[in-house]
Chains A and B, each alone.
Chain A
Amino acid sequence: MALQITTARPDPALLDLPWSTPLEDWPDEYLAALPRGISRHVVRFVRLSGRVLAVKEIKADLARREYEMLRNLRRLDVPSVEPFGVVSGRVDAEGRELDACLITRHLKFSLPYRALFSQGLRPGTETRLIDALAVLLVRLHLTGFWWGDVSLSNTLFRRDAGSFAAYLVDAETGELFPALTAGQRAHDLDIARVNIAGELMDLQAGELLDEGVDPVAISNRIVTRYNELWAELTDTEEFDTGERWRVEERIRRLNAVGFDVDELAITTDIDGTSISIQPKVVDAGHHSRRLLRLTGLDVGEGQARRLLNDLDSYRAGTNRQNDDEEIVAHDWLTRIYEPITRRVPRELSGKLEPAELFHEVLEHRWYMAERAQHDIPIESAIEDYVASILPGKPDEVSVVGVDTVEMPVIVDRGQRP
């Protein structure tokens, strides 16, 4: 059988990879010099034409199915890894068939949860991760995606203005439906709860997580956070016709949790004394869309909120409340955001994404100001930050996992039971 490569972005360098070798035996020279994650399939990270790709060995039909699924999820605007291609028809030197490979692009500045825990955590990080996962799960469920294997290890996290944004990494068990039933949602939540608790217990057993942390309590948080958010996004609310401000109020609340309302159903009862409203279509990314429109910056939701706040202070500080918002935003971008983020020396640019760095500098300025008891210009803050804080941060541009114990479901070679 001939090698078959399916990809949306053909790159001839793909042909140079050793496809006739089982993935677990790929020579080091091909691998990105990075540790591997925990997976039930063999997964390797390779460097190709200046980018990092994740290669997963898996049966051809499953590889194609997951590739299509990931493409669909991207089309639906769900945060997920970007599928790169499928390589099938592999045979080894003796002509034996090898499983296909699914290739995805490594998500820059993303962090596997194990890497976060091995860095030593700021208190509360585990709950922030769960909160990010809850948002992701709600978004997936709103689009009709049933995951089937919700877990921290099937998720990647990006820093988002002090909290995290979660991305789906593994869609192998997932399925898209026109809409999910309550039972499907409950089942996904139950899987999430059990997996998260298991993953945290494992971290404790490996002494990466403090004994004082209760894995069961934290895993239960996914259920409460999910249910709160789901209710906010989908519940019907009833009130008297005199309380019409509550329509505005509901939209404001949805914006506050990062969602825009695309469609809101408003019905009145027969005698017209009460109104009920229910969001029908909601879109995540309220702040990041607004920032993108104003500045062209494409950043995380939390980062966008932070940057918009700074833009607002800039507007107030320069007394330009009556100027056109787009024009002020452009000035803020060229006079504040870009000069500040460009102050990072090249060798330190792999530490943090520009938007996250900007957020950190704002935080740093606040602490400096508190210490000095007076305002600090942002130029001084970035200078101090680059000199004293940034060099001590780990490189996070291409972290792909730590603590590599592989758990393949397949029987070891020559060790069949």
Chain B
Amino acid sequence: MLGKPPTHRRGAGSLYNGSSGTFLPVKEGNDAMATVKFDEATRIYPGNDTPSVDRLNIDIQDGEFLVLVGPSGCGKSTSLRMLAGLEEVNAGKIWIGDRDVTNLSPKDRDVAMVFQNYALYPHMSVADNMGFALKIAGVDKGEIRKRVEEAAKVLDLTQYLDRKPKALSGGQRQRVAMGRAIVRSPQVFLMDEPLSNLDAKLRVQTRTQIASLQRRLGVTTVYVTHDQVEAMTMGDRIALLKDGILQQCATPREMYDHPANVFVAGFIGSPAMNLVAVPVTDGGVKFGSHTLPVSREELAGGGKNVIVGVRPEDVEVTNDSNGVEITVDVVEELGADAYVYGTPTNSAVALEGSDDGLAKPFIARVDGRRVPMKGDKVFVHPKSDHMHVFNQETGARLSS
């Protein structure tokens, strides 16, 4: 999950490291820089007062894998559709490379929606299954064969090209479907929850496959998901939206280590970050009986209370009356370590981010050899160099 800088990994832009370890030319004659730019892009549905996507600004680099993520209704799919040409852009602009595509029809944008349709045709060879859309587009036979062979190399399908799909395993069939999008060599791949109908195990496999394929091809990709784990594991960068507004756009590492606000802090990471409203005190903030040192500058403008965020792995669990006391409700053993889920014994300690009125547990990761028992009372506090402080009113990050 290392943050990858959104720079041009593709070097000269026309070579990639093929699956057999050789360098193969791709995307000939299509060397235009496929950057994507959302420039104050806004979508307001007729009859709505609030925009579904509100002045979105994202610069996507050539070859970058950008994931749009957020809860349902946050505007992620709408943003993708605006880029695809399926939604009107009511204000602002969308650019692909140096072309303003805001008012172009979908098929004039040189983008490909991947996985919209993965039906394979039983009587046609694997090669024809991959290349038939080019035939419709009037591409000549030699060129089709060339592109299909190139795609097959990347997808490890070369030896199956002349067989029928029936002879393939399910995973190979899926790669044929991907090949269909690849041979079109679009400037940008767009994927809208492509894994949503797969079972958990296959989802993980396919996720890895798509991510590595994208890296090999180096085609700019915008990917929509509601699943933060998918976002964290696949994206070069993640753009997190809520209520149509971009909350933060950064590398997975940056999102995890420096969430811009309480919402990002609570959304990214699994199990989620603990968020506790605490009073400001002399020299820091009061976390139960424990004073956490926070500089006056960082607390400036924060009011009388702030929200302290601490990830489960950054929680110190003790028996020495230091911090907030919790009662252990559940222990989840993972082997090397364990997750402890507890409830503060003092009901005045408010855990933020609970939804549906359900009380949210306080979560701590502990050493697997020193696990408290269910029903035990323990004290928790953040390791002081691993905590986040947020403004309670605005939710904005205060700590550096």
Which residue numbers of A lie inside 8 Å of B, CB to CB?
Answer: 38, 40, 58-59, 62, 99, 146, 148-149, 151, 153, 173, 178-179, 181-184, 186-187, 190-191, 193-195, 197-199, 201-203, 205-206, 216, 219, 403, 405, 407-412, 415-417
Q: Determine whether the beta carbon of B107 is less than 8 Å from that of A186.
A: yes
Q: Determine whether the beta carbon of A178 is less than 8 Å from that of B197.
A: no
Residues of chain B lying within 8 A (CB to CB) of residue A58: 197
Residues of chain B lying within 8 A (CB to CB) of residue A183: 84-88, 105-106
Q: Determine whether the beta carbon of A202 is less than 8 Å from that of B124.
A: yes
22 CB contacts below 8 A, A to B, read A40-B119, A62-B196, A62-B197, A146-B86, A153-B119, A181-B86, A183-B106, A186-B107, A187-B85, A187-B106, A202-B124, A205-B123, A205-B124, A205-B125, A205-B128, A405-B166, A407-B165, A409-B177, A410-B198, A415-B170, A416-B205, A417-B169
CB-nearest residue of chain A to B85? A183
B135 touches A (CB below 8 Å) = yes
Residues of chain A lying within 8 A (CB to CB) of residue B198: 409-410
B118 touches A (CB below 8 Å) = yes
B133 touches A (CB below 8 Å) = yes
B142 touches A (CB below 8 Å) = no
Residues of chain B lying within 8 A (CB to CB) of residue A148: 116
Tell me the complex Cα distance, A146–B124, Å. 29
Tell me the complex Cα distance, A181–B45, Å. 11
In B88-110, the 8 Å CB interface with A consists of 88, 105-107
In B1-58, the 8 Å CB interface with A consists of 45-47
B199 touches A (CB below 8 Å) = yes
B400 touches A (CB below 8 Å) = no
Tell me the complex Cα distance, A192–B205, Å. 30
Q: Determine whether the beta carbon of B122 is less than 8 Å from that of A408.
A: no
**Smallest beta-carbon distance A98→chain B, Å:** 10
CB-nearest residue of chain A to B87? A181
Dominant SS among interface residues on chain B: loop
Tell me the complex Cα distance, A416–B170, Å. 8
**Smallest beta-carbon distance B182→chain A, Å:** 15
Residues of chain B lying within 8 A (CB to CB) of residue A187: 84-86, 106-107
Residues of chain A lying within 8 A (CB to CB) of residue B170: 408-412, 415-416
Tell me the complex Cα distance, A322–B206, Å. 72
A178-B45, A191-B116, A199-B121 known, 12 other contacts, Cβ within 8 Å: A99-B199, A186-B105, A191-B117, A198-B133, A201-B128, A202-B123, A407-B120, A409-B197, A410-B170, A416-B171, A417-B171, A417-B172
Q: Which 9 pairs of residues, A with B, have the shortest CB-CB distance?
A: A417-B171, A206-B123, A405-B122, A202-B121, A411-B170, A205-B123, A183-B85, A415-B169, A412-B170
Q: Determine whether the beta carbon of B202 is less than 8 Å from that of A411.
A: yes
Residues of chain B lying within 8 A (CB to CB) of residue A178: 45-47
CB-nearest residue of chain B to A410? B170
Residues of chain B lying within 8 A (CB to CB) of residue A62: 196-197
CB-nearest residue of chain B to A415? B169
Tell me the complex Cα distance, A334–B119, Å. 48
Q: In the complex where A186-B106, A411-B169 touch, is A193 in contact with B136 (Cβ < 8 A)?
A: yes
CB-nearest residue of chain A to B117? A149
Residues of chain A lying within 8 A (CB to CB) of residue B216: none
Per-residue 0/1 for B182-223: is the Cβ within 8 Å of any A Cβ (1 yes, 0 no)? 000000000000001111001001000000000000000000
Residues of chain B lying within 8 A (CB to CB) of residue A190: 106-107
B132 touches A (CB below 8 Å) = yes
Q: In the complex where A148-B116, A202-B124, A407-B120 touch, is A59 in contact with B84 (Cβ < 8 A)?
A: no
